[in-house]
Chains A and B, each alone.
Chain A
Amino acid sequence: DAKTTQPTSMDCAEGRAANLPCNHSTISGNEYVYWYRQIHSQGPQYIIHGLKNNETNEMASLIITEDRKSSTLILPHATLRDTAVYYCIVPQGGKLIFGQGTELSVKP
């Protein structure tokens, strides 16, 4: 089962794009990458997931490298409300295992 590594923390200026990297070098061919976030004192919130192709929805874009060993979550125009812990997850045995995530601080 694949595990993920993410930077512990990142800062981003309000209105700029936030690019959150994730390494999952041991991912196998049929494993998806999921992204969630947890805003302080709230439950985790699903953002996006992907397998091979880049994905985009109303919240974010997910860029997956061709070898699938890493991915980047992009928040195109970060706002103060995007300050949260962002989790990159490859399900293990059908379970979402949350690591420490990246604490993103969006600053004015």
Chain B
Amino acid sequence: DTAVSQTPKYLVTQMGNDKSIKCEQNLGHDTMYWYKQDSKKFLKIMFSYNNKELIINETVPNRFSPKSPDKAHLNLHINSLELGDSAVYFCASSWVRNSAGTGELFFGEGSRLTVL
């Protein structure tokens, strides 16, 4: 069983469209994340949810809207897609942050978004 699964794995779309990426984890974790990895391979945290509540929101355009219907799911919706949104988006999950800072994060395999 895949611990953190994302769909779709590949997404090609036109500028201006709206698209969603879904993420599900079956590890019973409390916290979920979205990371973006651009063409230069830098991994940047975008959002973090703990028990369906937003706890980290980096300086991400408000065209990006995460939604967590329950603690096992964290979906990412992107409005009015732009060329610069092309990247690989990784979902991750972990136990609630403890004294160690973040705990161990489990990452999904990524969703490669290409905006034409």
Contacts and interface: CB of A to CB of B under 8 A. Distances in A.
Interface string B99-114: 1111011111110000
Q: Tell me what chain A mostly uses at the interface: helix, strand, loop, or mixed.
A: loop
B45 interface: yes
Nearest to B40: A100
Interface string B38-76: 000111110010000000100000000000000000000
**Which of B97, B101, B104, B109 gathers the greatest number of chain A CB atoms within 10 Å?**
B101
Contacts of B97: 94
Interface string A23-58: 000000011101010100111111001010000000
A76 B115 CA distance: 42
Contact of B100 (A32, A44, A98): A32
A46 B92 CA distance: 11
Contacts of A91: 101-102
A34 B43 CA distance: 15
A10 interface: no
B109 A34 contact: no
A46 B35 CA distance: 15
Given A30-B99, A94-B97, A96-B45, A46 B104 contact: yes
B90 interface: yes
Nearest to B110: A43
Contacts of A36: 105
Contact of B45 (A30, A95, A100): A95
Interface of A: 30-32, 34, 36, 38, 41-46, 49, 51, 85, 91, 94-98, 100
6 contacts: A36-B105, A44-B107, A46-B104, A94-B97, A96-B102, A100-B41
